[in-house]
Structure 1
Amino acid sequence: MSSEDDAAPPQDQWRIQGRVEREASGAPSPAESLLTELDRIQVRLNDVIEQGRPAFFEGSDSYDRATVAVIRLAALFEEPSRFAPLLTAVTLDERRGIITTRNIAAHSGYRAMDANIFWQTTTAHLPGVIARLRAGVESAP
């Protein structure tokens, strides 16, 4: 049997498939994966806070790090079957705000973003959201 025999039929080659529900042997649990992602988001937020407001403007490294942090945080809510039970610490209004901010950054461009509100969101609000998510995951059975 050749490797060509094992290949997917051409019509199925590019078909979008959902995530496999079972975890592979040795793969991190959803809780472990979520904590790792929260660490990555927190590092970016810490960098933004450390650089301060003067360094936070469209096109700056600080602004880009904040954007990536929001995009990655919003992505957690896009995998409800995997993370939903671990994300209950975030209110519906907070989810909407995070997703709206991500949509503005990803689809409308930075010109549509109010830098002062974005600064407040990433430095004053998101660290608390991350802390609550972390506490919820760490206290889960």
Structure 2
Amino acid sequence: MPDDHSADASRWSVRPRTAAPAQDAPTAAQSLRDELVKIERRIEDVICQGREAFTEGSDSYDRATVAVLRLAALFEDPSRHHAPHLTVVTLGERRGIVATRNIASHSGCGAMNTEIFWRTVTERLPEVIARIRAASES
């Protein structure tokens, strides 16, 4: 009988890619634009639902959290999304986005100041996304 631990070890070991990316795969710039659209849709939903609906545990709050998580993920591996397009986001803004993501994912949303989170998602992030979009389209 095979050792269960050895089976798990090989299952979770890091392996090189076995095939080249598909020729019809989107470019890094297109992937970035697609991701920005997904983030913007979430932010638009949050704004449409309004401040009154924006409470911890609500659909609106959850959409805002996912928008921040996805935006922060862009900075984790900038090579995936054309790093030059992301340089339009200041170091302070990046730190703020990552800190917000860390609070949401590690401390729980209950640790988040709802008013600051609302203003960040509805006022600051749309402007940051607009700058990234403009850089990726130029």
The alignment status of 1:136 with 2:124, answered yes or no, reads: no
Partner SS, residue 76 of structure 2: coil
Q: Which residue of 1 aligns with 2:110?
A: 111
Deviation at 1:15, TM superposition (A): 1.8
Q: Would you say 1:82 and 2:80 are equivalent positions?
A: yes
- What displacement does 1:16 show? 3.2
The one of 41, 44, 47 equivalent to 2:45 is 47
Aligned length, in residue pairs: 130
Question: Can you give the 5+ residue segments of structure 1 that lack an aligned partner in the other structure?
Answer: 1-8
Deviations 1:66-87 (A, max 9, x none): 0000000001111122222221
Counterpart of 2:3 in structure 1 is none
Q: Which amino acid aligns with 1:14?
A: W
Give the 4+ runs in structure 1 shifted more than 2 A: 9-13, 16-20
Separation in 1, partners of 2:16, 2:107:
28
What CA distance in whole angstroms lies between the structure 1 residues aligned with 2:46 and 2:114? 13
Which of 4, 19, 28 is the equivalent residue of 2:26?
28
1:51-66 equivalences under 5 Å are: 51-66=49-64
Q: Which amino acid aligns with 2:105?
A: A
- Find the counterpart in structure 1 of residue 94 from structure 2: 95
Which runs of no fewer than 5 residues in structure 2 stay unpaired?
1-5
Counterpart of 1:96, as a letter, is R
RMSD: 1.9
Deviation (angstroms), 1:18: 7.3
8 Å contact 1:23–1:29 — kept in the other structure?
A: no
Q: Distance in 2 between matches of 1:42 and 1:80?
A: 19
TM-score, structure 2 normalization? 0.87
Is the alpha carbon distance of 1:131 and 1:18 closer, same or farther for their aligned partners in structure 2, counting shifts above 3 Å? farther
Paired with 1:48 and 1:29, the residues of 2 have a C-alpha distance of 29
